[in-house]
Amino acid sequence: MMKRIKSMVCMTMTMTMVLVSCVNTESSDTKDESSSDVEVTDAQMDKLGITHRKYLSAASKRALQWPDLGNEWYIEFEVYDLKGDFAYEEGVVRRDPSAMIKENGKYYVWYTRSTGKTDGFGGDIEKDKVFPWDRCDIWYATSEDGITWKEEGPAVLRGEKGAYDDRSVFTVEIMKWDGKYYLCYQTVKSPYNVRVKNQVGLAWADSPDGPWIKSKEPILSPADNGIWEGEEQNRFKVKKKGDFDSHKVHDPCIIPYKGKFYLYYKGEQMGEEVTFGGRQIRHGVAIADNPKGPYVKSPYNPISNSGHEICVWPYKGGIASLITTDGPERNTIQWSPDGINFDIKAAIKGAPHAIGLNRTADNEKDPTEVLRWGLTHEYKTYDWQYIRGFRSRKVKNHTAIGEKGE
């Protein structure tokens, strides 16, 4: 069948707007480009609502490739206020709660804490507070019921001047292993400018109440293969972007898995772009034989196309991950049989920020059991954030009031 391609027609509109219309036409005897030789069963036609098996849109072709999934991974969230020291307090920033563990008959959680308003990058970065998570220390709190919390005090403080963590320590996660407790967290060294390269630190203790011993050096650092353009403090100007984590490694979480320790983290790339309407954020993993490292980044990194804060948990021999906020696969729950290769299991309406999981939950009872309740943070204003609770519920179908579901 011969195609006759007509000339491209370009029309220029007057005034300030220029509209270029490029039209490619075919003769009437040319086969419609939407036609397809893909085999579609009657059952697929009925389930997906396809009107004609010989004329498949790109959307229908994608739908035919979907795995046969149910709704066992689909949930919806709600958040609520907490009591005690986690009630909102203007002048204090409490954010990024870790997962909760239960020790000595109490729930324990660690979190980012600072005071004072956020100044941004417009003034003196040696004196100002450039982000809400700048000039922070890691504190902890306890609760008997998960509702009323008592702030116990600092757990890990910023380092001395000149140390890799002298500016801020924040976004912490807890792991208990072999009778010891491990906190991994982000670190920043002064000066906190827009090109500073965040790292990951580690502290350990024999008790959840400390005292905590800090690693002398970071356990994870950004890739060192990007090249900034010029000396100006502009994080978008690069000669070479480098790996997905060439600028920052954030939101660490260590999971004991298959006899090793998997450190999941968020990577930010130098010269970050916006894709699919979201920031260019991806996740990676580094693996060690010992909780203290050394951690070696997986050659398969990045292991996600999207995401923000790390939220991972073991399930059925693999690792599940809640992907939020940024990128084309945001607002999905994914699962990997090997901790590296993740597939989408559910698309959700959204999730609370910086989820702190309930690690006392039975991971194997249900794929989302660990998300049934936990902690989050919320912005009251850009200056002040506070820790709240969240709960979730499973959703199997969509019904109106009074209507019977399945």
Query: Greater confidence, 230 or 166?
Result: 166
Note the pLDDT tens digit of each residue in 197-208.
Answer: 999 999 999 999
Note the pLDDT tens digit of each residue in 119-176.
Answer: 999 889 889 999 999 999 999 999 999 999 999 999 999 999 999 999 999 999 999 9
Classify 43 as helix, strand or coil: helix
The answer to whether 262 and 313 are in contact (CB under 8 A) is no
What is the average pLDDT across 235-241? 93
Distances (CA, A) of 110 to 182, 221, 235, 293, 302: 11, 22, 31, 22, 27
The answer to whether 283 and 269 are in contact (CB under 8 A) is no
Q: What is the mean pLDDT of the chain?
A: 89
**What residue segments make up the domains of the chain, in order of their start?**
75-394
Give the residue among 32, 30, 36 at the shortest CA–CA distance from 53: 36
Q: What is the pLDDT of residue 384?
A: 97
Average the pLDDT over each of 16-20, 38-42, 86-90, 340-344 and give the range with the smallest value. 16-20
Classify 185 as helix, strand or coil: strand
What is the average pLDDT across 11-40? 46
Q: What is the pLDDT of residue 31?
A: 47
Phi and psi at residue 161, in whole multiples of 5°? -55, 130
- Partnered with residue 393 across adjacent β-strands are 76
Q: What is the pLDDT of residue 406?
A: 59
Choosing among 2.115.10.20, 3.40.50.720, 3.65.10.10, 3.40.50.300, the CATH entry for 75-394 is 2.115.10.20
Q: What is the pLDDT of residue 405?
A: 62
